[in-house]
């Protein structure tokens, strides 16, 4: 009797944490599909990844048409995933670009592939401690933690943040758009988990820590293997509770 190989879709997997996680899941017997912003660059810089057993897709998560086309491709191929790891993200750039990748594109992709995930699927959003709510005003924290907060309301707040340079000062959000986008991502994890409870799907956020990557820089105290170990301790934990923020397999405050 054959056992079906579990499959995972990991975004932003051509370097750093995403790369390490994709290879680690592959080593553990998972079928891995992954995205990169440029297959050409991947061929130039990491050609071995293209023959590693990982199935690669080119995707700019910050472009809505590209995300829509990617979703269409997956549905046409009748892809199925037991897990989705939303790792793609950027730190630098204008607020609208940062939110396009870190929040809006992620939401679009996650919603679009929901039908490709089984009832017990896990959706893991790689977030950051920089999205901690201690950077927000008490009023803003209360708003983001509302148990009845709807996705369209959160999206409206994010759109206002990107369009209004004075939004952060007037509404108690951090001036750093990366921090704001990760806090919004965490709020989305709570909303998405609540809205999927009937299906049994779980949605969580994960803080990998400050890691030595192109984004984290050489001064970061954590190595990529240490961060990957912490992520694996979380996503492979059968008793995981949805709607939580995790680090190294344990819930942490928002």
Copy the structure tokens of residue 163: 């369009």
Structure confidence at residue 237 (pLDDT): 82
Of the pLDDT bands very low, low, confident and very high (cuts 50, 70, 90), residue 38 is very high
Structure confidence at residue 2 (pLDDT): 44
Task: For the beta carbon of residue 209, count every other beta carbon within 10 angstroms.
Answer: 19
Q: Measured between alpha carbons, how far is 63 from 101 in angstroms, rounded to an integer? A: 8
Per residue in 41-89, pLDDT (tens digit) is 999 999 999 999 999 999 999 999 999 999 999 999 999 999 999 999 9
Structure confidence at residue 208 (pLDDT): 83
Structure confidence at residue 62 (pLDDT): 98
Beta pairing partners, 35: 57
- Determine if the pTM surpasses 0.85: yes
Per residue in 170-229, pLDDT (tens digit) is 899 999 999 999 999 999 999 999 999 888 999 999 988 666 566 677 776 668 888 889
Structure confidence at residue 214 (pLDDT): 67
Which phi and psi angles does 78 have, rounded to 5°? Answer: 55, 45
Which phi and psi angles does 219 have, rounded to 5°? Answer: -80, -10
Structure confidence at residue 3 (pLDDT): 56
Structure confidence at residue 4 (pLDDT): 78
Per residue in 140-173, pLDDT (tens digit) is 999 999 999 999 999 999 999 999 989 988 899 9
Structure confidence at residue 212 (pLDDT): 55
Q: What is the fold of 7-252?
A: Rossmann fold (3.40.50)
**H helix runs in 46-137, sequence order:** 47-50, 64-76, 95-99, 105-112
């Amino acid at each position: 009797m054959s056992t079906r190989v579990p499959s995972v879709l990991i975004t932003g997997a051509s370097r750093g944490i995403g790369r390490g996680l994709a290879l680690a899941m592959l080593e553990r017997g998972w079928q891995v599909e992954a995205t990169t912003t440029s297959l050409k660059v991947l061929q130039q810089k990491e050609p071995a990844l293209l023959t590693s057993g990982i199935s690669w897709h080119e995707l700019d998560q910050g472009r809505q048409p590209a995300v829509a086309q990617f979703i269409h491709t997956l549905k046409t191929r009748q892809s199925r995933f037991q897990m989705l790891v939303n790792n793609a993200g950027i730190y630098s750039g204008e607020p609208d670009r940062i939110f396009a990748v870190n929040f809006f594109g992620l939401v679009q992709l996650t919603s679009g592939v929901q039908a490709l995930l089984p009832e017990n699927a896990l959706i893991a959003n790689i977030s950051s401690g920089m999205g901690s709510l201690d950077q927000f005003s008490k009023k803003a924290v209360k708003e983001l933690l509302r148990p009845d907060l709807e996705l369209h309301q959160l999206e409206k707040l994010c759109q206002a943040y990107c369009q209004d340079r004075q939004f952060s000062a007037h509404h108690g959000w951090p001036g750093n758009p990366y921090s704001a986008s990760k806090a919004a991502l965490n709020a989305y994890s709570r909303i998405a988990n609540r809205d999927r409870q009937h299906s049994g799907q779980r949605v969580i956020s994960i803080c990998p820590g400050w890691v030595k990557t192109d984004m984290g820089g050489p001064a970061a105290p954590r190595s990529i293997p240490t961060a990957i170990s912490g992520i694996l301790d979380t996503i492979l934990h059968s008793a995981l509770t949805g709607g939580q923020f995790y680090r190294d397999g344990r819930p942490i405050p928002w």
